[in-house]
Structure 1
Amino acid sequence: MQVRTSLPMEREPCVLALGNFDGVHLGHRRLLEHGLEQAVRLGVGLDVLIFEPHPLKVLFPERGVKLLSTTQERLLYMEEIGVRTVYHLPFTMEMANTSPEQFVEKILLPLGVIHVVVGFNYSFGAQGKGNSELIQALGQKHGFGVSVLQAQTLGGRVISSSSIRKALQLGDIQLASSLLGHLPCLRGTVIHGEERGRMLGYPTANILTSDDFLIPKRGVYAVWSTIDEKRVLGMMNIGMKPTFHEVYDTVVEVHFFDFEGDLYGKEITVCIEERLRDERKFNGVNELLTQLERDCSNAKGVLDKIQDRQDSNKALLQTNFTNQ
């Protein structure tokens, strides 16, 4: 898959998917899959246009929109689906002030679009005046087709980035995972902390996350990460250390089981399987240690069950393949 940061010198016929694709959730995947179906039908490649930073961060910075995924994660998911080229363009105030007609003429047509795929609520152009009806009209004018996908639902619930953000803010990992179609993750750089966990026998990797990304509700979670190409299990605490501080910034700390090594300065991604409990203040170190033992046992129980289920599914697939 190619990633381009500018418009091409020559038009190359394509089906183009438009959107922000934050999280690349199940709704996004259906849109991209439909785009791929159209590309195959028309004998061209599927391309995607995304902007950086997220347009809402430029247009409404006061809203403080938190993102679900990095650009690199979005690109990986798109490559898996079969996208040919991603146009990764800067979103500036100049771009924000571009009229819907200019957006089509100066951006879409130079990309060589013969078919465009958008969601029902896609907006474009100055003040968001462009909508799905207008892009269909402009498609007729300029000779490209348009597919408008309606809202995708799961169990009667609309799949959207905002609903996933709300689920994570409430600590509902199961709901967030089901809407995403994959586990929610946190990513950041391992930094030095107070090293209190080491003194208590539970050394932690303190993860500095970007202010751009959403941190789930405070509490304790069962998690895993891939370190040096190996899956490492652990438990994560998101909180303000109320047992030791009256006021403290929210921190993300991960205690990895059966791991030894220096992670300082490394970028890691932590995948969240399940929320175990709320954050709470303990009456001293001994009470905290007792709870940490329970947390450790609970996290291992959750992760072991998931691993057993994955191993069982893998064995079943291998058996079915052998019997064919």
Structure 2
Amino acid sequence: MQVRTSMPINNEPCVLALGNFDGVHLGHRRLLEHGLRQAEELGVDLSVLLFEPHPLKVLHPERGIQLLTTNQERLNYFEKIGVDTVFLIPFTREMADTSPEDFVEKILIPLGAVRVVVGFNYSFGAQGKGTPELIQLLGKKHGFGVSVLQAQMLEGRVISSSSIRKALLQGDIPLAFSLLGRSPSLSGTVIHGEERGRLLGFPTANILPAEDLLIPKRGVYAVWSTIDDRCVSGMMNIGMKPTFHDMYGISVEVNYFDYDGDLYGRELTVHIKERLRDERKFNGINELLLQLKTDKMKAESLLKECL
């Protein structure tokens, strides 16, 4: 799969999928699979147009965003699905001020779009004034086709990034799993922590989550990661260490069960299997250790193999 970070002058004809694709969830995959079928019928490649950074970071930096996947994770999922090319275009204030008509004429047409695939709620152009209906009209004017996929449903529920965010913030891992079509995950860099876990016999990798990623609800989770090309199971705590601190920022710590190598500075993706319990304050070290042993037993029974 090619990743192109600048606008081509005259790109080869392609089916072009548009959207943010945060999470690359089941709804996104159905849209991309539709695009693949269109590309095969037309004998062209399937391409995806992405903006970096996320437009909300430029338009509303005060709001903050909670992404489900890093940019690299999105690219990895696109490649697995069969996308041929990703156009990763910088999103600037100038880009934000582009009219819907200029967006089509100066971006979509130069990218070689012979057919565009969008979701029912896709918006584009200055102030999001461009709608799927408008892009269909502009497609007729400029000679490219447009496919608009309606809301994708799962058991009566709309599949959306916002519903997955809500599920993760509520600790509802089964719902997030069903909407994503895979385990939710959290990626970041292993940094130095207080190293208290090592003294307790439960050494942890302290994860600094990648910028703008959503952090699920506080609590203890059964998790796994691929480390050195093998699946390593463990348990993750997201919380504020109330047993040891009255006030502490949110931390993410993973105790891997069968790994004793040096992880400092490594980039890890932690896949979440199930939420085990809420975070709570314990009455001393011994009570905490008893609970950690129970947590480990539960996690091990859930993680007999990587999913």
Structure 1 and Structure 2 fold alike (TM over 0.5): yes
| CA-CA distance at 1:124 after TM superposition | 0.1
| CA-CA distance at 1:222 after TM superposition | 0.3
In 2, Cα distance between equivalents of 1:106 and 1:10: 11
Partner in structure 1 of residue 303 of structure 2: 303
| CA-CA distance at 1:183 after TM superposition | 1.0
Cα deviation digits, residues 117-152 of structure 1 (max 9, x gap): 000000000000000010000001001100000000
Partner in structure 2 of residue 140 of structure 1: 140
Q: Which amino acid aligns with 2:64?
A: G
Counterpart secondary structure, 2:302: helix
CA contact (8 A) 2:233 2:257 kept: yes
Cα deviation digits, residues 216-239 of structure 1 (max 9, x gap): 000000001111111111000000
| CA-CA distance at 1:210 after TM superposition | 2.6
Counterpart secondary structure, 1:147: strand
1:199 aligns with 2:195: no
Cα deviation digits, residues 152-190 of structure 1 (max 9, x gap): 011111000111011000011111111011111111111
In 2, Cα distance between equivalents of 1:271 and 1:216: 12
Cα deviation digits, residues 177-206 of structure 1 (max 9, x gap): 110111111111111111111111101011
When normalised by structure 1's length, the TM-score is 0.93
Counterpart secondary structure, 2:68: coil
Partner in structure 2 of residue 318 of structure 1: none
Partner in structure 1 of residue 168 of structure 2: 168
In 2, Cα distance between equivalents of 1:82 and 1:302: 31
Q: Which amino acid aligns with 1:56?
A: L
1:271 aligns with 2:294: no
Q: Which amino acid aligns with 1:4?
A: R
Counterpart secondary structure, 1:287: helix
In 1, Cα distance between equivalents of 2:269 and 2:258: 18
| CA-CA distance at 1:70 after TM superposition | 1.0
Q: Which 5+ residue runs of structure 1 have no aligned equivalent? A: 311-324
In 2, Cα distance between equivalents of 1:213 and 1:174: 20
CA contact (8 A) 2:151 2:158 kept: yes
Counterpart secondary structure, 1:63: coil
Matches within 5 A, 1:17-32: 17-32=17-32
Matches within 5 A, 1:3-82: 3-82=3-82
When normalised by structure 2's length, the TM-score is 0.98
| CA-CA distance at 1:209 after TM superposition | 1.1
Q: Which amino acid aligns with 1:87?
A: F
1:291 aligns with 2:295: no
Counterpart secondary structure, 1:301: helix
In 1, Cα distance between equivalents of 2:60 and 2:150: 26
Counterpart secondary structure, 2:109: helix
Partner in structure 2 of residue 149 of structure 1: 149
In 2, Cα distance between equivalents of 1:193 and 1:236: 14
| CA-CA distance at 1:61 after TM superposition | 1.9
Partner in structure 2 of residue 315 of structure 1: none
Matched residue count: 307
State which drifts further: 55-64 or 216-225. Answer: 55-64
In 1, Cα distance between equivalents of 2:248 and 2:167: 24
In 2, Cα distance between equivalents of 1:17 and 1:211: 25
Counterpart secondary structure, 1:111: coil
In 2, Cα distance between equivalents of 1:211 and 1:41: 39
In 2, Cα distance between equivalents of 1:89 and 1:57: 14
Partner in structure 1 of residue 259 of structure 2: 259
In 2, Cα distance between equivalents of 1:143 and 1:9: 18
Structure 1 residue runs of 4 or more that deviate by more than 4 Å after TM superposition: none
In 2, Cα distance between equivalents of 1:276 and 1:11: 50
1:186 aligns with 2:165: no
Cα deviation digits, residues 84-112 of structure 1 (max 9, x gap): 11000001010000000000000001011
Q: Which amino acid aligns with 2:222?
A: A
In 2, Cα distance between equivalents of 1:222 and 1:184: 12
